[in-house]
Amino acid sequence: MFNWLLIFGPMLTAGTLAFLPAHKRFLQLTTLIPLALFAGLLAHAGDIADGKTFRTTYQWVDALGLELSLVLDGLSFLFALIITGIGTLIVFYTNSYFQKDDETHRFLIYLFIFMSAMLGIVLSGNFLGMFIFWELTTISSYLLIGFKHDYSVARIGARQALIVTGGGGLALLGGIAMVGVMSGGVYDFAALDAMAGELADHALFEAALILIIIGAFTKSAQFPFHFWLPGAMEAPTPASSFLHSATMVKAGVYLLARLAHTFGGGDIWLYALGSIGLFTFVYGAFMALSAYDLKAILAHTTLSWLGVLIALIGINTKDSLKAAMVGILAHALYKGALFLVVGAIDYETGTRDIRKLGRLAGAMPVTAVASALVLLSMAGVPPMLGFVAKETLKVASLEHVPDAFAAVFPVAAVVGSALTVAAATMIGLEIFLRKPQHGEDLYAHEAPLPMWFGPLILGGLSLILALFLHQFLDPIINPALSAVYSDPAEVELYLLPALDDLAFQLSLLSIAIGVVIGVTNRPLRDSLQNKSLLDPTHVYNKIFGIGDDKVDVRSLLGQGYRFVNRRLQDGILRHYLNYVFFTFVLIMIAVIIQVWGKLKLPSFELDEITLLETFIAVIIMISAVATTFARRRLGAVVWAGAAGVNIALLFALFGAPDLAFTQLLIEVLTLIFLMLAFRLLPRFMQDTSRFTTFRTMRDGVIAVMVGLVFGLLALLASSNREAPPIRYWFEENAYELGQGHNIVNVILVDFRGLDTLGETTVLVIAALGVLALISPMPLLDMLDKHFKERVRQQLEAEAALEKDSSIISHIYENINRVLLAGDDFRGDDNA
């Protein structure tokens, strides 16, 4: 029960909020929702620490093996704590971040939707169920990044994030589908884990694994998909803090951790996760030193740390997984807080440019203290939680590492850590202590309480959790580790290392290097000048374009779009008919050739055909041929109608009065409709240049082929009947079951009622379409009035306006053609 509340509580809050007025009091009260969930989670802490797992299941779509099963185990518990705990502080913070209540209102609705989705990811016990929440986080992230949607940068950032993570989501879906194929429709994580051996031997295993890894990499912003994360910094700061550092970007890490036992262990897992993760670790930390924007700096350090988490999961030893678990928690605490601090600084000073900021420690003392705590944790200085994380990282890089990474991992760990230390030093120095690089000191004063409260709490936690390691940290980390891999007791966390310990010496080394780089950061940054090395953004732009609203015609996507539009969607119905019929003929010919050997050829009994039937058939044929030679639309329609009426006669002759009746009525009504429409169209044959010999021949060939194929199909169908006709069943049961003697009607209203229901609906939709397209009421009436008005003006004025009118009448004509023409949607025909 609690599991359900956990997932749907925030969603319900969002739904309720949407109907409440944007009033400050309601909005502030919503802080209690995540707080209550957090408290509820803490109440389960004892059971979780004892190794209990809470599981609830609801069958959702049986046919797909999709069940909504919620599992609260150690790993889920760790993530759920982070989501609800930091979520509480974020909601509290948001209430003073925005200037206007309705902005807060809209933001909180999105945020709660996201919170539900994120909790859904970490609580789902079913791979397929998890994917739904996975996509939901992508969408809510899109809404949050594009929150300031009147800025084009925000729109571009949002779209970029959506395309990259959404594309990764598609890859993940492909991977999940393959897993389903391999497991025979089992998607439950626990059940999948039980059949890990079978899965690894399956032919699809590698493909599935690579697709899943791509999904996780896009979500967790790994190189080369990392560029969406700095772009996502257009989001309001609380969203950046919550989604783009503390929770959502860790979804990929979570997924890989969840699957580490089932899929880990192979070469692909080790090399893909290990190499990409370590590269991103070093790369992100280095790029952070080149950026000017504080949020961009934080974004780069975030993707850097995500890289190391992924590499640790890739190494897949008990030490590395433990380091990953500690790293997840430590990072969420310090990075979430840092974003909030940046938001507060931005709020007070109006800038996030690191060159303009400086010496804020005096003006914002509480913020400075909170920042100091979290920056120390980020740098991994004892006795902070960050130190514990960095220390376990160093241990993991030394112990039991597979040979391929035995040399690389410690080096990368030291370099990456050093650069992270440098970034932390730089932020602390440049914002709070040193004079600004450019310009004078900025005027600022202390941020309001909700803006420093969160960072202070998170900073305090970073200290307390480390100080009381065994009391507080172990009960959270150990169940998470045992959910992922192994017995947690084998790896002990510690705060006071021995001085001769190699890992500790490496930590000290990286801190020393980092501080030096951090202090001398200005020359380095000035030489890099905010440039992004190895940035795949231009590849993305080449494919998807750079505009924010329209399709960019220079991009690959735009080119493809233009090609399709010109070649296939040219707006001329004749061509559409050609494509459709030609494709149909090709497919049918291919099918007939394939099964030709098994077919019985039709046999004719010529004397079974009566004179009357022959006569009608000849009339139908004459009418059909005459239709194609008609010089006017009306003539063509009348000839086609003649064929239709004679077909109705045939129906009547063969004992299908209902069908004949319907056919006849439809023919009459079609004629009337077409007559009403034709009077509005330009004359058909005026422009003979359209009917070149080639086009006539081409259309003629297609038409004859369609006719032949249809005729052949009809003959073959009648001579190759295998099952007894269904009509006997209808004859027997129409009165018994359907209470009627007219079989056709019983079928329509009873046996096949659902079909009729669908057809009736289609009829209504068609009518609505006609009304919307050519209804004289709103659009044409308006044009009508407008046009009359213009013509009147034109009569009053003189020669100068004549030109104007000819343009207007031309436009009017074209609009009419577009709206009314069934024949030609385009002014010129240059196909």
What's the angle, vertex CA 525, arms to CA 523 and CA 530, rounded to 5?
150
Closest CB to other proteins among 201 and 736?
Answer: 736
Closest distance between other proteins and the C-beta of residue 805, in Å?
A: 9
Contact 119, 80 (CB under 8 A): yes
Q: Which of 741, 796, 798, 799 binds other proteins (CB under 8 A)?
A: 741
Binding mask 788-807 for other proteins (x = CB under 8 A): x--xx--x------------
Q: Which of 347, 581, 661, 684 binds other proteins (CB under 8 A)?
A: 661
Closest distance between other proteins and the C-beta of residue 302, in Å?
A: 52
Closest CB to other proteins among 468 and 735?
Answer: 735
Among the residue ranges 121-129, 448-456, 551-559, 741-749, the one whose residues contact other proteins (CB under 8 A): 741-749
Closest distance between other proteins and the C-beta of residue 385, in Å?
A: 58
Which residues, 6+ apart, have CB-to-CB distance to 748 below 8 Å? Answer: 756
Closest CB to other proteins among 688 and 739?
Answer: 739
Closest CB to other proteins among 198 and 789?
Answer: 789
Closest distance between other proteins and the C-beta of residue 727, in Å?
A: 16
Closest distance between other proteins and the C-beta of residue 686, in Å?
A: 14
Does residue 739 belong to the site contacting other proteins (CB under 8 A)?
A: yes
Count of residues making up the chain = 831
The interface with other proteins within residues 662-681 (CB under 8 A) comprises: 662, 665-666, 668-669, 672-673, 676-677, 679-680
Closest distance between other proteins and the C-beta of residue 66, in Å?
A: 23
Which residues are registered as beta bridge partners of 608?
none
Closest distance between other proteins and the C-beta of residue 809, in Å?
A: 8
The interface with other proteins within residues 25-84 (CB under 8 A) comprises: none
Q: How far apart are CA 494 and CA 59, in angstroms?
A: 44
Q: Which of 57, 690, 756, 829 binds other proteins (CB under 8 A)?
A: 756
Nearest to 392 by CA among 455, 479, 471, 329: 329
DSSP 59: E
Q: Which of 658, 699, 823, 829 binds other proteins (CB under 8 A)?
A: 658
Among the residue ranges 114-122, 417-425, 435-443, 736-744, the one whose residues contact other proteins (CB under 8 A): 736-744
Q: How far is CA 448 from CA 23, 85, 432, 451, 818, in A?
A: 19, 20, 18, 6, 59
Does residue 782 belong to the site contacting other proteins (CB under 8 A)?
A: no
Among the residue ranges 146-154, 546-554, 557-565, 658-666, the one whose residues contact other proteins (CB under 8 A): 658-666
Q: How far apart are CA 292 and CA 353, in angstroms?
A: 5
Which residues are registered as beta bridge partners of 61?
66
For 27-63, b where at least 16 C-beta lie within 10 A, e where not — what string? bbebbebbbebbeebeebeeebeeeebbeeeeeeeee
Q: Which of 543, 573, 767, 807 binds other proteins (CB under 8 A)?
A: 767
Closest distance between other proteins and the C-beta of residue 334, in Å?
A: 57
Phi, psi of 267 (to 5 degrees): -70, -40
Phi, psi of 828 (to 5 degrees): -115, 155
Closest CB to other proteins among 530 and 745?
Answer: 745
Closest distance between other proteins and the C-beta of residue 648, in Å?
A: 12
In a 3-state reduction of DSSP, which class is residue 188? strand
Closest distance between other proteins and the C-beta of residue 829, in Å?
A: 20
Among the residue ranges 244-252, 262-270, 324-332, 759-767, the one whose residues contact other proteins (CB under 8 A): 759-767
Closest CB to other proteins among 1 and 799?
Answer: 799
DSSP 350: S
Closest CB to other proteins among 488 and 644?
Answer: 644
Contact 546, 231 (CB under 8 A): no
Nearest to 476 by CA among 816, 794, 74: 74
Closest distance between other proteins and the C-beta of residue 742, in Å?
A: 5
Total chain residues near other proteins (CB under 8 A): 52
Paired tokens of 549: 């609203």
Among the residue ranges 399-407, 484-492, 534-542, 748-756, the one whose residues contact other proteins (CB under 8 A): 748-756
Cis check: omega of the bond before 383, within 30 degrees of 0: yes
Closest CB to other proteins among 627 and 756?
Answer: 756
Binding mask 679-718 for other proteins (x = CB under 8 A): xx--------------------------------------
The interface with other proteins within residues 580-619 (CB under 8 A) comprises: none
Paired tokens of 238: 């609380």
Long-range contacts from 570-575, C-beta under 8 angstroms, 24+ separation = 570/826, 570/831, 571/824, 571/825, 571/826, 572/824, 572/825, 572/826, 572/829, 572/831, 573/822, 573/823, 573/824, 573/825, 574/699, 574/823, 575/831
Does residue 813 belong to the site contacting other proteins (CB under 8 A)?
A: yes
The interface with other proteins within residues 633-652 (CB under 8 A) comprises: none
Q: What is the CA radius of gyration of the chain?
A: 35
Q: Which of 726, 745, 806, 810 binds other proteins (CB under 8 A)?
A: 745
Closest distance between other proteins and the C-beta of residue 764, in Å?
A: 5
Q: Which of 820, 823, 826, 829 binds other proteins (CB under 8 A)?
A: 820
Q: Which of 653, 704, 757, 811 binds other proteins (CB under 8 A)?
A: 757
Q: How far is CA 177 from CA 118, 254, 369, 433, 575, in A?
A: 22, 19, 50, 54, 38
Q: For tokens 């009118």, what's the residue?
A: 805
Closest CB to other proteins among 411 and 767?
Answer: 767
Among the residue ranges 73-81, 91-99, 643-651, 755-763, the one whose residues contact other proteins (CB under 8 A): 755-763
Paired tokens of 647: 């077909």
Q: How far apart are CA 424 and CA 415, in angstroms?
A: 14
The H-or-E segment that residue 67 falls in is: strand 66-72
Closest CB to other proteins among 691 and 729?
Answer: 729
Nearest to 357 by CA among 242, 410, 436: 436
Q: Which of 56, 472, 787, 808 binds other proteins (CB under 8 A)?
A: 787
Closest distance between other proteins and the C-beta of residue 731, in Å?
A: 14
Does residue 539 belong to the site contacting other proteins (CB under 8 A)?
A: no
User: For residue 498, which amino acid is it?
Assistant: A
Q: How far is CA 778 from CA 253, 789, 812, in A?
A: 54, 17, 16
Contact 820, 680 (CB under 8 A): yes
The interface with other proteins within residues 206-265 (CB under 8 A) comprises: none
Q: How far apart are CA 254 and CA 321, in angstroms?
A: 12
Q: Which of 20, 704, 771, 807 binds other proteins (CB under 8 A)?
A: 771
Does residue 657 belong to the site contacting other proteins (CB under 8 A)?
A: yes
For 241-288, give the DSSP string. HIIIIISGGGHHHHHHHHHHHHHTTSHHIIIIIHHHHHHHHHHHHHHH
Q: Which of 738, 808, 826, 829 binds other proteins (CB under 8 A)?
A: 738
What does the binding site for other proteins look like in residue numbers (CB under 8 A)? Answer: 657-658, 661-662, 665-666, 668-669, 672-673, 676-677, 679-680, 737-742, 744-746, 748-750, 753-754, 756-757, 760-761, 763-764, 766-767, 770-771, 774-776, 780, 784, 787-788, 791-792, 795, 812-813, 816, 820
